[in-house]
Structure 1
Amino acid sequence: MTPDNTVSKRVTPNGTIPNGATNGSLRNTTSAQSSSNTHAMNGKISRSNGSVSSLSNGATNGVILNGEIKNGKMKENVKEMGDSSKIKANQLKSYQRAIFTALFLGYACYTYNRKSASYATPTLLAAGLVTTNTVGVISSCQNMAYAVSKFLGGVLSDKISARLLFSFGLLLSGAATLLFSRTEDPMVWAVLWAVNGFAQGCGWPSCAKLLKKWFSPANFGTWWSVLTASSNLSGTLSPFLAAYIIISHGWSASLVFAGLVSLVMAVAALLTIVDDPELANLPSPALPVDAPASSFVSAMETGGFFGGILAGVLTDRIASKVKVQANVRLLVAAAFMCACCAGLYVLSFVLTPASSQVVVSGVGAVLGASMFGPISIYGIVASESFPAHLSGTAHAFVALAANVGAVLAGWPLSRVARVWSWRGVLLLLQALTAASALLIVTTPRLHITTKAKKD
């Protein structure tokens, strides 16, 4: 018994009972206990599992909580990024407004300085300080220097800071105007006005470069047209301002005022303008186009200068030799517009990014000449087609039509570009140019000159 008990005691803890009822009962008991213990253990395990599960759930909840915290941080980061984008967008708009204002006022000062001596010319002639020939020499010196610097300004704007070029040109122009007011030597005036004309060429190429950097291509035409209007606004208001100053304080004071305004504006432009949005840590609103456009624009301006002169010379010579039942000047304008149409075609379908810069500039010069030539002719025809006492009104109507065209060249054309691309814009311009030339050629009786009627 004792050994059995010993065995049973010894075996029982192992949960194995040898043969026998007693052993069986013991086994059952042990089994019961074991099952009980097992249940208890299961209970414990379950409780343990529960605690583990609760821990794991807690851990999981902790992970989820951490995940939620991380997600919250991510949401906060996204929100901060959104706020940062809005801040950047607002900063970009502020820079755009400031830079465009500086360009608008600065280019208006360029125009004011360019014409400031001509406003004082009647007074200088009346005082005997200059003669008509001297005035012509001074004007020619300025125009020739201006024609050369228009092209050089475009090239320089691609090589150096447009901000520095714009400010330096305005500074040099203002300084030349101030010095002009301090002397009465005609030779010095001619030299100073050549310097003024040379400084003028720094203006528009810099404007074109900065507009391209700071404004979206979708709105580029609109901003271009509005900036161009600054010259018209200056040309409208500056004669009245100059006349008031000349009457009140003399011709010298008028030039002093124009020069000082330009010097102040040059400093303001230097402090306000930034060459590139990246320099201000701002996103660029322009498309990443590597090829510069300023040389082409300068070539157009240079071609326009010579085209306007050529148009006047050609129409005078042809009108004196050719007798037709039509206005010869308008026929010459139609020829210029045909050349413009051809230039637009080359620009649309012939030129490629691999084209030589010399070829591109040549096309720009042809386009500038063929566009500015008709502008000069239309003004001449408007003045000739009406009696002398109505010539000013006639010219005003033509100028109004030109301003309407400038407005239409802004936002409406940018909308066309958005729908049809810029090639579509060029095709539209070709069609309009060809239609205008065709209208002139097919309606000769509508533009017969007064002289032809008398003959």
Structure 2
Amino acid sequence: MIQTTTTRTRTQIRMKSISNSSSSNSPRSKQEQLLGYQRSIFATLFLGYAFYTYNRKSVSYATPTLLANGLITTSSLGVIISCQNLAYAVSKFLGGVLSDRVSARLLFAAGLALSGGSTVLFSRTENSTVWALLWFCNGFAQGAGWPACAKLLKKWFSPANFGTWWSVLTASSNASGTLSPFLAAYVIIHHGWSASLVLAGLVSLLMAGVTLITLVDDPTQVRLPDPTVAPASSTKEHIAKENKNTVDEAKMTVKQLMASPFLWIVSVCYLVVFCTKTALSDWAQIYLMEELGRTQLQASSFTSALETGGFFGGILAGVLTDKMASKVRIRGNMRMMVASGFMLVCATGVYVMHTFLTTTTSQVVVSGVGMILGASMFGPISIYGIVASESFPAHLSGTAHAIVALAANVGAVAAGWPVSWVSHVWSWDGVLVVLQALCAASVVIILTTRSLHITHKTKTQ
């Protein structure tokens, strides 16, 4: 009797253990764990990329002080900015290729650590040649950030909301750009430009350590379901159709990708908006101080307004185009058509900045123009990246994005020394006229090439 009772007790314990194990591995439990990981990883990427941006712009925040103290000339500054942007252009392309071959977690952390280290070293010298070399290293490290983000987004989040997640993560750069100009201005005024760069570098080194702990490359590494896999179709016809599409997409080669007119349309438009954004971010402070008589704090508030507007514009672009792409049918790529509207607003904003802002214009109006410009620039920046990633076969989406990102960073390089040369030859008014013309030209390109657009509908049918 005692033996029978003992056996029954052991059986109950075993069954309870199996029940608990089964419960912990249930679909609902797995989904809850997946949601927790998604929140943690997205928060880490959001903060980490914000610190990438803080480092990338830390010298731009210090340039008015460096110029005022005679530590640097406008021409030398243009060379330093172009060195960073040139290295960023090359490394972002390489980063896109590397993200398919190495751990995105390690790539993200290594880039952030190297970027922070080069910023700290920049603060320790006053030699223009060394500055150019260090800022080249900084730009090279920066190129690891976004490719790693894109890789992790694709691994951890559903394609159905890819545009929204992409745009919200992009907004981390704007959040950083909104707050960091004020933080940098405060530190520079009270402790000097060197202290501002040391702060930017040290917090990035610290964040690099955090990312090594919190990021995970793939849900399968922690035995979680793959959120990118769509539910199986209930009909044989749909399955056959999906298989046919996979075979067709698999046939596309890199050579065919490079021959795609749509890829180059997106690339040219991305180049234009990135040139405009970088020029206004890097040089607007100097324009406002030299031409409109603003203080450094007032000029910094304009830069902050650009980023604030960009925060909302980038998110709006992703959410709006996600919804419109599934509901509205027009000739051409819906996301690109929305981007053309943003660029038209951008051209108008630069015109207003050039024509109507004067030394007596209210600072509220100046900041308002900055917010509109920020929203109209960062909206297309978000859209072009999404379009490049989703418009081509999965096995070439990383390459497609790397190509358009390379074009974008060529635009950023053009916003360095070439812009300083234009300002020297034709003044800052000439710079703003060139930017207006480029923005207007990109609108014309999008609207006149609609027959060449690749649409989401075309791709999935």
Both structures adopt the same fold (TM-score exceeding 0.5)? yes
| Equivalent AA in structure 2 for residue 129 of structure 1 | L
Aligned to 1:370: 269
TM-score, normalising length: structure 2: 0.57
Distance 1:147 1:280, change over 3 A: same
Contact kept? 2:171, 2:312, Cα under 8 Å: no
Which protein is bigger by CA-based radius of gyration?
A: 1
Aligned to 1:29: none
SS in 2 for 1:264: helix
Give 1:429 shift: 2.7
Contact kept? 1:171, 1:266, Cα under 8 Å: yes
Aligned to 2:25: 84
SS in 1 for 2:25: helix
Aligned to 1:5: none
Residue among 304, 315, 332 paired with 1:407? 315
Residue among 335, 346, 365 paired with 1:429? 335
Contact kept? 2:99, 2:147, Cα under 8 Å: yes
Residue among 134, 138, 144 paired with 1:192? 134
**Distance in 1, Cα, partners of 2:342 & 2:205:** 43
| Equivalent AA in structure 2 for residue 356 of structure 1 | T
Distance 1:90 1:217, change over 3 A: same
**Distance in 2, Cα, partners of 1:416 & 1:179:** 47
Contact kept? 2:164, 2:318, Cα under 8 Å: yes
Q: For structure 1, which runs of at least 5 residues remain unmatched after alignment?
A: 1-65, 290-347, 441-445
Aligned to 1:328: none
Within-5 A mapping of 1:332-351: none
**Distance in 2, Cα, partners of 1:394 & 1:415:** 32
C-alpha deviations, 1:314-333, integer Å up to 9, x for none?
A: xxxxxxxxxxxxxxxxxxxx
Contact kept? 2:122, 2:131, Cα under 8 Å: yes
Distance 1:428 1:270, change over 3 A: same
Aligned to 1:181: 123
Higher RCO (Cα < 8 Å, 6 or more apart): 2
Residue among 36, 46, 50 paired with 1:108? 50
Give 1:285 shift: 0.7
Q: For structure 2, which runs of at least 5 residues remain unmatched after alignment?
A: 1-7, 232-244, 347-351, 357-428, 434-461
Residue among 41, 47, 53 paired with 1:99? 41
Distance 1:160 1:399, change over 3 A: closer
Contact kept? 1:416, 1:425, Cα under 8 Å: no
C-alpha deviations, 1:86-135, integer Å up to 9, x for none?
A: 33222212211111111111111111111111212222222222222221
Contact kept? 1:416, 1:424, Cα under 8 Å: no
**Distance in 2, Cα, partners of 1:90 & 1:190:** 48
Aligned to 2:254: 357
| Equivalent AA in structure 2 for residue 373 of structure 1 | V
Give 1:84 shift: 2.6
TM-score, normalising length: structure 1: 0.58
Distance 1:96 1:355, change over 3 A: same
**Distance in 1, Cα, partners of 2:36 & 2:331:** 30
Over the aligned positions, Cα root-mean-square deviation in angstroms equals: 4.5
Aligned to 2:172: 230
Contact kept? 1:218, 1:415, Cα under 8 Å: no
SS in 2 for 1:229: helix
Count how many residue pairs are aligned between Structure 1 and Structure 2. 313
| Equivalent AA in structure 1 for residue 98 of structure 2 | L
Residue among 87, 112, 133 paired with 2:75? 133
**Distance in 2, Cα, partners of 1:395 & 1:212:** 31
Contact kept? 2:116, 2:200, Cα under 8 Å: yes
| Equivalent AA in structure 2 for residue 127 of structure 1 | N
1:283 matched to 2:225? The reply is yes
Contact kept? 1:179, 1:192, Cα under 8 Å: yes
Distance 1:119 1:430, change over 3 A: closer
